[in-house]
Amino acid sequence: AQTVTQSQPEMSVQEAETVTLSCTYDTSESDYYLFWYKQPPSRQMILVIRQEAYKQQNATENRFSVNFQKAAKSFSLKISDSQLGDAAMYFCAYRSAPSGGYQKVTFGTGTKLQVIP
């Protein structure tokens, strides 16, 4: 079974600084997608960034970028120039669709990010 591990329950970062949230996963499949979601206190789930496993190039969305290491099964999120609005829970998610089988979705346990003014 696929597992997603976020080993940092809580992180903090100074405003305008850079922080990296870690995520590792375990899978035997070769084709899958990885996502980072943000959940602010409002509880709304917001997609931050996604990465296709077959793409070697790391995904980037403005201040958010990932370091995708397929062989190491690692998918970390880097937030640059942290802003107060970045404070939230961040979830790493894995999604795959084995040939002929059901789509599978697995979330990590989340990392709570605090941004210090």
Footprint on this chain of other proteins (rule: CB under 8 A):
32-33, 42-47, 50, 52, 91, 93, 95-97, 102-110
Q: Which is nearer to other proteins, 46 or 116 (CB)?
A: 46
Residues in Cβ contact with 86 at an 8 Å cutoff, skipping those fewer than 6 apart? 38, 79, 113, 115
Output the smallest distance, CB 82 to other proteins, in A.
23
Q: Which is nearer to other proteins, 29 or 65 (CB)?
A: 29
Output the smallest distance, CB 40 to other proteins, in A.
12
Sign of CA dihedral 66, 107, 38, 7: negative
Which DSSP category does 71 fall into? T
Do β-strands 111-116 and 10-14 pair in parallel, antiparallel, or remain unpaired?
A: parallel
Output the smallest distance, CB 116 to other proteins, in A.
26
Q: Greatest CA span in the chain, whole angstroms?
A: 50
Q: Which is nearer to other proteins, 55 or 63 (CB)?
A: 55
